[in-house]
Amino acid sequence: MLVMPQPSDSAEPGRIVVVTPTYNEIESLARTVASVRAATPEADILIVDDGSPDGTGELADRLAAGDAQLHVLHRTLKDGLGRAYLAGFAWAAEQGYDVVVEMDADGSHPADALPAMLATLRSDAGIGLVIGSRWIPGGTVVDWPLHRRLLSTGANRYARIALGIPVHDITAGYRVYRREVLDALDTANIDSRGYCFQIDLTIRTFDAGWGIREVPITFRERIAGVSKMSGGIVVEAMRKVTVWGISRRLRRRRTQ
Ligand SMILES: Nc1nc2c(ncn2[C@@H]2O[C@H](COP(=O)(O)OP(=O)(O)OP(=O)(O)O)[C@@H](O)[C@H]2O)c(=O)[nH]1
Ligand SMILES: [Mg+2]
């Protein structure tokens, strides 16, 4: 007899919010919002703007005035991607969303991959995080110079080995979280920024026992605006990965 897999409770679509942090993304924001609308009309969007001097926050308000599914959180100071996401997660929890998506505003993260990422999360109630991955078969990066590819693939390989977590794109910023994963975070304890924030949350999700899946995406280099990532953020990430990796090994040895 053929036994068909039974849909679990998680097959319910639930309420989805795409959280998009912005700092000086006036040239990209409208296109990003439109692409999310087209790919996932059921999803709401929250823009978290850190007082962008280029008027991104005002543009977000104008877009929100004509769109009941678009919300804007204004913060006064540029305080880093991690803090902006934590503020967005707190807002999403207050509003009772079931699924929280992380997506950059700069057009690098293709909205047309979102339905497959959401379907993957829904396929199993034990999956807490789905990553839009550049570095698994079917995933790729368009318009990146060789040195950025090597840096990203090298950093990911190093993190995978150092941390013992089988994820191929742990620094990726395109993610779908089950709300319960974020509810359980000890947010007061998270001070990571930039790439570290994504790595830190992946470790916490993995250690809490949630399944993590990767869905291949085509990542495109931003076509407008400037990157806010710096060499310092990359160095911080590698230093922290080394410290985390060593302490995880010591902890494992102690519990054996
Ligand atoms: N609210 C807020 N958003 C930020 C901050 N820093 C970066 N962002 C946003 O976070 C997203 C990712 O930043 P990027 O500068 O594109 O970083 P990245 O994608 O790792 O780097 P590139 O590949 O060079 O673009 C973008 O939507 C930025 O506008 C910040 O301090 N506050
Ligand atoms: Mg970017």
- Please report, to the nearest 10 degrees, the dihedral formed by the alpha carbons of residues 18, 66, 22, 106 taken in order: 80
pLDDT of 13 reads 65
CATH 3.60.150.10 fits 9-255, yes or no: no
pLDDT band of residue 224 (cuts 50, 70, 90) is confident
Is a pLDDT exceeding 50 seen at residue 8? no
Strand, coil or helix: what is 226?
A: coil
Question: Which residues surround the ion ligand 2 when the cut-off is CB under 5 Å?
Answer: 104, 106, 108
Q: Which atom of ligand 1 is nearest to the CA of 222?
A: 25
Is a pLDDT exceeding 70 seen at residue 9? no
* Paired tokens of 102: 């992380």
pLDDT of 66 reads 92
Residue of 23, 32, 89, 142 best suited for mutating to test ligand 1, as the one with most atoms within 8 Å of CB: 23
pLDDT of 233 reads 79
Q: Is 182:88 a contact under the CB 8 Å cutoff?
A: no
Strand, coil or helix: what is 19?
A: strand
Q: What distance in angstroms lies between residue 255's CA and the mean position of ligand 1's atoms?
A: 39
Question: Strand 127-133 relative to strand 70-74: parallel, antiparallel, unpaired?
Answer: unpaired
Task: Spell out which residues line ligand 1, taking CB within 6 angstroms.
Answer: 21-23, 25, 48-50, 78-81, 84, 104-106, 108, 222, 227-229
- pLDDT tens-digit profile of 142-184? 989 999 999 999 999 999 999 999 999 999 999 999 999 999 9
pLDDT of 90 reads 97
Q: Quote the percentage of the chain above a pLDDT of 70.
A: 95
* CA pair distance 16, 251, nearest whole angstrom: 36
Strand, coil or helix: what is 46?
A: strand
- pLDDT tens-digit profile of 232-241? 777 888 999 9
Is a pLDDT exceeding 50 seen at residue 6? no
DSSP code at position 10 = G
Q: What is the mean pLDDT of the chain?
A: 92
* CA pair distance 95, 229, nearest whole angstrom: 30
- pLDDT tens-digit profile of 20-42? 999 999 999 999 999 999 999 99
pLDDT of 12 reads 60
pLDDT of 201 reads 97
Is a pLDDT exceeding 70 seen at residue 249? yes
- pLDDT tens-digit profile of 77-95? 999 999 999 999 999 999 9
Counting other chains too, the contacts that 4-11 makes at CB distance below 8 Å and 24 or more residues apart are 8/124, 8/125, 9/125, 10/121, 10/122, 10/123, 10/124, 10/125, 10/127, 10/178, 11/122, 11/123
> Atom 9 of ligand 1 has which residue's CA nearest to it?
22
pTM of the model: 0.93
> Atom 16 of ligand 1 has which residue's CA nearest to it?
227
How many other CB atoms are there within 10 angstroms of residue 141's CB atom?
Answer: 17
* CA pair distance 220, 209, nearest whole angstrom: 32
pLDDT of 5 reads 39
Considering every ligand atom shown, identify the ligand nearest to the alpha carbon of residue 52 and give its number: 1
Q: C-alpha angle 68/70/76, rounded to 5°?
A: 130
pLDDT of 231 reads 72
pLDDT of 39 reads 98
* CA pair distance 63, 54, nearest whole angstrom: 16
| Length, in residues, of the chain | 256
